[in-house]
Structure formats: structure tokens, C-alpha cells
Structure 1
Amino acid sequence: MPIRVGTWERLELWAVARVALRGADGADVPRTVIVKWVRTHPVGTRTELWRLRTELAALRFLSDDLNLALTPRIIAADLSAGLVVMEDLAPRTALDHLLRRDGAAAHADRLAVFARAHGELSAATVGHADTYYTRRTALGPIDPAAGLVGRFARLQDETRGHAAALGAPFTGQAETELGTALDELSDPGPFLALSNGDAETNNLLLNESGPADARLIDFESAGYTHALSDAVCLYVPGPAWMSVGDPIATGLADHYRRALACGVPEAEDDRRYGFGLAAACISWAIVRLQRFALLDTRSPGDDSRPQLVATLEAAARTAETHRALPHLTRWARRTADLLRRRRPDADLAFTDRAAFPPYTARA
């Protein structure tokens, strides 16, 4: 069926565009589609073809193999040309846009949808890793170092060096708990589920009014991992935020956990769930800690400096709530105190909800 391109609009700064289509002789075609292509970037950022292969495999796996209506549908793909064409989800908008514009209090129902969507994705994909990886390997090789065991082994090695350089080395029982936490994440057992690899509010599109009809997007880094890695965003600030609030008080924690338990009954075990969540939150904080040298080069007052303190303290608070990893938690709090002393501009009261309401945006 001959199809012609009408107009196109570049979305974001990377290689994504909304394209208007016209069918020849009145052919029935989508009015608009989203096209992603291999990036060209002067310093080689995110230009790898494997990203499109991964997104294509993940979206087809979810829609064709699992019949899950949580993501855009693939319409066409030409990997030799570095192109993937998918369903346009407009007029849905990104949740982070709504939060930045109106604040979290105005979108409590949409945040609940966000939490449930990630729980539903994990619940639906548990037990289907072989099906996904059959699809993915058919499109090209996967870097063995990207696997769970390799990923967390690297993290453990890198963490020791960064912590020592900062003046907060792991010792004794804290180091033992770090190994235990990373073992949990590299061997999730019944919690092994598919993630898009970036479970943040910018990757959920939904309607501003009426039924949310939400969709998860951006599966370039998709893969099977510990399901509770996708819950971290509810407890610990991601790159865009200074604070995400208290998900237990707001009910987001329950929305996520109930959805997850539909496919992972072990999520109802308080001890097991709490340990996995604490491990995921602390490991995320450690990943972010690796940026401390870069942040030292930034000017006082740059939000990224106090944000690292907020990240460590939020992770520690989550572990404390679930009575897990006590020595690693104390290490995280000591490291946050060290950063507060090292950078006076980072010494802020993040638990003050008047100053830092849920989803306070980082400048």
C-alpha cells in the first residue's frame, strides 16, 4: 500500500519524530506515527543499533506474545536502515510534564496509575524471560556484560573505589551487606521480570482528563531484572527530582505492591519484599554516588549537589522502614552527612514537606 509522508515534527532532542502520513488513493493509514531512528551524535551518545533492536523486541514481545496493552504497538521496522515505526499515543502526555506544571497534589490519581502500571508490567512478564530473549537474540547479539550477574559484579567493584575516594569506604558488616544486596538483585528468583530500564515519570504517557489509559514508553534499555528495581522511583528521587515524597503515606506503595502481587505472590511476604526493595533502593543510591566527583566541579547552588544527599537519605529511610540492611543504611547516612559537610549548599531539610513537597523538580 503506497504511503506518503506529509509533515513531521521532531520530538525531544533525540532521534524521535511524529510523522503525518497520507495513503494513496484513499488508503486507510494511521494519521500520524512515531518514528525512532539510530542517533547520530558528535560524541557518540546513544547511537548503538542494539537500542532499536531491544525496543523492537520488547514491544513486540509485550503486544504480540503477552497481548499486553501497556505500550505502543509496532507498525513497521527496518533495522538495516535503523528505523522503527510505532503507534502515536497522542493526545496522551508525559506524567512528568503534568507534575512539573501542576504539582503532585493535583495528579494523585495519575501517580497511582503510574505505580500500578509498573507493578502490572512486572506481574505480566514474570516467567516469560525465555520468550523475550528468543525474540531479542533473533535480532542480534546481546552484550554478555549487560546481564544481571555481570552488571552487579561491576557495580560492586566500582562502588568500593568511589566510596574510598570520597572518604566513605565500605568496611566490615556494611561491605558484607552490600554483597548480600547485590546477590539479591543479580538472582531475583520469583521477582525476575521485564523492565523498560528507566522507570521514571517521563516514560509514562496518559490522558490529562478522563480515563488515564496509560502507556509505558522507551524500551531501548529493556531487559529482565529484579522487579523491585522498578519500584525505586516511588521512594528515591530519580535524575529529574529533588524529592518524591512518602509513597506509603500517599498510597503509591500499596498501588504498586498489589499490582505486582497479582503475578508475584512472594510480594505479599513483608520480609522478602522489604529486603528486595531496600537492596534496590540502596543500589540505586550507590549508582548515583558515582557522580560525586563530577558534582564537585559544579557551582554551589547547583541542584545536582543536594540531590545526591536527598537520594542517599531517601534510600536509607526506605531500608529503615523495612528493617533491612542496617549496616549499609548507616553507611548511606554517614556518607550523606559527609556530603552535607563537604558542600554547605547541599545541607538542606529534605523532609520538610513545605520546602520539598512530593515531586519537587530539580532545576
Structure 2
Amino acid sequence: MAAAGAHPQHPQRAILEALLTDLYASPVRVDTWGRLEPWAVARATLRGAVAVPRSVVVKWVRSCPGGTRTEPWRLRAELAALRFLSDDLGLSLAPRVLAADLPKGLLVLEDLAPRTALDHLLRRDGAEAHADRLAEFARARGALNAATAGHAGIYRARRTSLGPVDPPSDHVGRFARFRHEAYGHATTLGAPLTGPVESELGAALAELSEPGPFLALSNGDAEANNVLLHESGPADARLIDFESAGYTHALADAVCLHVPGPAWMTVGDPVATGLAGHYRRALADGVPEAEDDRRYGFGLAAGCVFWAIARLQRFALLDARAPGDDSRPQLVETLEAAARTADSHRALPHLAGWARRTAGVLRRRWPDADLDFTDPAAFPPYTARR
């Protein structure tokens, strides 16, 4: 029989009650269960002893056949990363894990409410209204990288103790696979990766695959939807969603400040707004090499170009869509923003030129995507993709 408060549509409720009853050595009941769509996440309010929190956030492994994010390793990665941050490093940059049942595919996390996701604020009010929150986001990302640099061995020991590590989550694999896929797409578009471009692509991959002092923990999805902060007063940011966590080049986490992520058409000029400086200063607290302009610029340019290459893998999908789909101009701006970042740091000039040429090909192929993204009236920072 299911525990009191369980519901046949939410078997995780019964697992949660049993798990917390055992943890607190006294009965714990779920009062309310609110699914946070579209994710396999819920917020539960609880009844129990004084020590029992009023509410928790519950994450579980999806079980739908053929669905996305159904891999069991995702929960292991999140559990390892969050306990590494809180238990091994004593950091409060992410939610604490209160309980876990990996065989049943369930994590119970600290509820960070009333914090809210930064992307919600940006969509609702625009970037200008939340410049301070954006700055806190940039600092939090830099602080995560700074605090975890040099501790890869501790993290990996914790992670491997929970089970096999999925190869795509390895920091080398994240970049190397895009290099091989890029050749076909580039040739199809008439912008082949040959000569000096190919040489710089190899150098960029070498930088990202062997980060040296820039090797740091990332949650694997450094975007504004994965930071929660207070809407008023001190922001007190917390980073969330560590399902794809792993050690990688720290500057891969700075890419989102310079190049549009999946949700945005534009991100503006992070140097002019100060976001680039906030991230870099926070990173330099733990990675002094971040103060070296050449090393920093080369790593950042490599990360931005490889992100653009990764997004270029969607070309065939976008080419089949009807004119006017926002994903088309988004891809154009992704390539051009990566080129601008490389230019500003005087790094990877041939790759930057290739990115601009490829964007030009797409502008001609998709007239609906031939837009002026540098016009702040038409495309202010953090213009959302519909």
C-alpha cells in the first residue's frame, strides 16, 4: 500500500515520504505536490517533526520510452556534483542534497524559493531592468569555476563511486565530437574547414581538451534559466541543474555571456555592460591565469567558436523550417557573435573569418534571417527567441 499522501499519478510522493521518514526517524507526510513542468521536478510541502523542512524540491529519472533525459547517469552526476560542492568544498553556490535514492531514481534537494530563475525576469522585464541580477549571474559562474579549479581528483573519485561516467559528459568528448560533425555541414554550405581554418580548429580543440589551470567544474548548461536569485534585495544566486556536470574548460561557462544560448536571439555586448569583467574577476580569484590576456582571450574565443559549431549541427533542421522561424536568425547571430568575440581578443582570426563567411551564406540562403543584430532598438540584449 502507498504511504499516506501518495497519489497513483505521482509514485515519487510515496518514495519521498519513505525516504524522509527514514532520514528524520519520524513520520513525514507530503501535503502538496506541484509538478514543475516540463521537467521531471516537483516542489513538495511537508508535515513532520520540527527538523523537517517546510518544502523540498524533488528530481527523478524520466521513464518514458524514447524520451529525452532518461539516462540514469544524469542523476548520479547531479548527486556527485552537489555533494562535492557542499560536503567537500563547503560552498553554498547550489542547492544542498537532503536525501537520495539512486536505485529508485530520486533526489531530494533544498528548496531555494522564493528565488526565481533569471531568464523569467529577463523575459518579463528586459535585461536593462535586471543588470544587477545579470552581474550576479556572471559572478556566480566565475565563482563556481574558481572554487572548483584544482579539485578534479576529489570530484572524480566521488563521481566514479556512484557508477560509470557517461562518455559524452567527459570534458574532452564534449568538444571533439563537434569537430568531426562540422566538416560535413561546412562543406554543404560552401565554407569548408580547410587550410589555416582547419589548423586553428585543431588548436582550439587542443585548448578546450587540455585546459590546464582552467580545468573546472561546470553544470554543463551555463544559461540564465539555471540560476535562481531573489527578485529584490541581495540576489544571493544559486546555480541549479547539474545533470550534465563535469570538469571542463572554465571558459566554456563564459560563452553564454558572449554568444546567444538556445533561448536568446542576442545577448548584447558583455564588455560594455560589464558582465565579461564580473565573470573574469571572479574566475581570477581561483585561477590567476585568467588575468593573462592572451591565454584568457584564446580560451574564450575557442569556447565561443566551438559553441557556434555545435549549434551549426542544427542546420538541416532549420533549413527545413518555414521562413520567419526565429531559430534561423539566431544561428546567424551565434556565428557572428562568436566571430566578434574572437576578433575582440585577437584570437583565431581564420576561424572567426570562417564563422562570418558561414553566417553570410546563411543570410543569403535565408533572407528572413538577414537582419541587423547590432541595432539595439530592434534587438536589445537578451531578446528572447520565440
TM-score tier (shorter): over 0.9
CA–CA distance in 2 between the matches of 1:53 and 1:329?
38
1:291 alignment partner in structure 2: 314
Counting aligned pairs with the same residue, the percent is 77
1:154 CA displacement: 1.8
Aligned residue type for 1:65: D
Give the 5 Å matches for 1:157-306: 157-306=180-329
1:176 match: secondary structure: helix
> Do the aligned partners of residues 103 and 145 (structure 1) sit closer, same or farther apart at CA in structure 2, a change above 3 Å counting?
closer
2:109 alignment partner in structure 1: 86
1:155 CA displacement: 1.8
2:172 match: secondary structure: helix
2:328 match: secondary structure: helix
1:70 alignment partner in structure 2: 93
CA–CA distance in 1 between the matches of 2:57 and 2:221?
19
Give the 5 Å matches for 1:21-36: 21-23=46-48, 26-36=49-59
2:69 match: secondary structure: coil
> Does the alignment pair 1:130 with 2:130?
no
If the length of structure 2 is used for normalisation, what is the TM-score?
A: 0.92
2:42 match: secondary structure: strand
For residue 19 of structure 1, the aligned residue among 37, 44, 49 is 44
2:8 alignment partner in structure 1: none
Give a deviation string over 1:38-83, Cα, whole Å, max 9, x none.
Answer: 1123422110110000000000000000001100000000001100
1:7 alignment partner in structure 2: 32
1:158 CA displacement: 1.1
If the length of structure 1 is used for normalisation, what is the TM-score?
A: 0.98
Is the 2:73–2:166 Cα contact (8 Å) retained in structure 1? no
2:347 match: secondary structure: coil
**Residue range with higher mean Cα deviation, 270-279 or 41-50:** 41-50
Give the 5 Å matches for 1:94-109: 94-109=117-132
> Do the aligned partners of residues 209 and 145 (structure 1) sit closer, same or farther apart at CA in structure 2, a change above 3 Å counting?
closer
Is the 2:95–2:240 Cα contact (8 Å) retained in structure 1? yes
Give a deviation string over 1:216-246, Cα, whole Å, max 9, x none.
Answer: 0000000000000000000000000000000
1:148 match: secondary structure: coil
1:48 alignment partner in structure 2: 71
Large movers: runs of 4+ above 3 Å: none
CA–CA distance in 2 between the matches of 1:242 and 1:153?
26
CA–CA distance in 2 between the matches of 1:310 and 1:139?
40
Is the 2:301–2:342 Cα contact (8 Å) retained in structure 1? yes
CA–CA distance in 2 between the matches of 1:42 and 1:114?
35
CA–CA distance in 1 between the matches of 2:325 and 2:383?
15
CA–CA distance in 1 between the matches of 2:178 and 2:242?
22
CA–CA distance in 1 between the matches of 2:36 and 2:297?
39
**Residue range with higher mean Cα deviation, 27-36 or 195-204:** 27-36
Is the 2:62–2:70 Cα contact (8 Å) retained in structure 1? yes
1:168 CA displacement: 1.6
Give a deviation string over 1:164-192, Cα, whole Å, max 9, x none.
Answer: 12222111000100000011000000000
CA–CA distance in 1 between the matches of 2:171 and 2:81?
17
> Do the aligned partners of residues 300 and 52 (structure 1) sit closer, same or farther apart at CA in structure 2, a change above 3 Å counting?
same
Q: Which runs of 5+ in 2 are unaligned?
A: 1-25
Is the 2:175–2:306 Cα contact (8 Å) retained in structure 1? no
CA–CA distance in 1 between the matches of 2:34 and 2:138?
30
Is the 2:145–2:216 Cα contact (8 Å) retained in structure 1? yes
CA–CA distance in 2 between the matches of 1:249 and 1:69?
29
1:163 CA displacement: 1.2
1:152 alignment partner in structure 2: 175
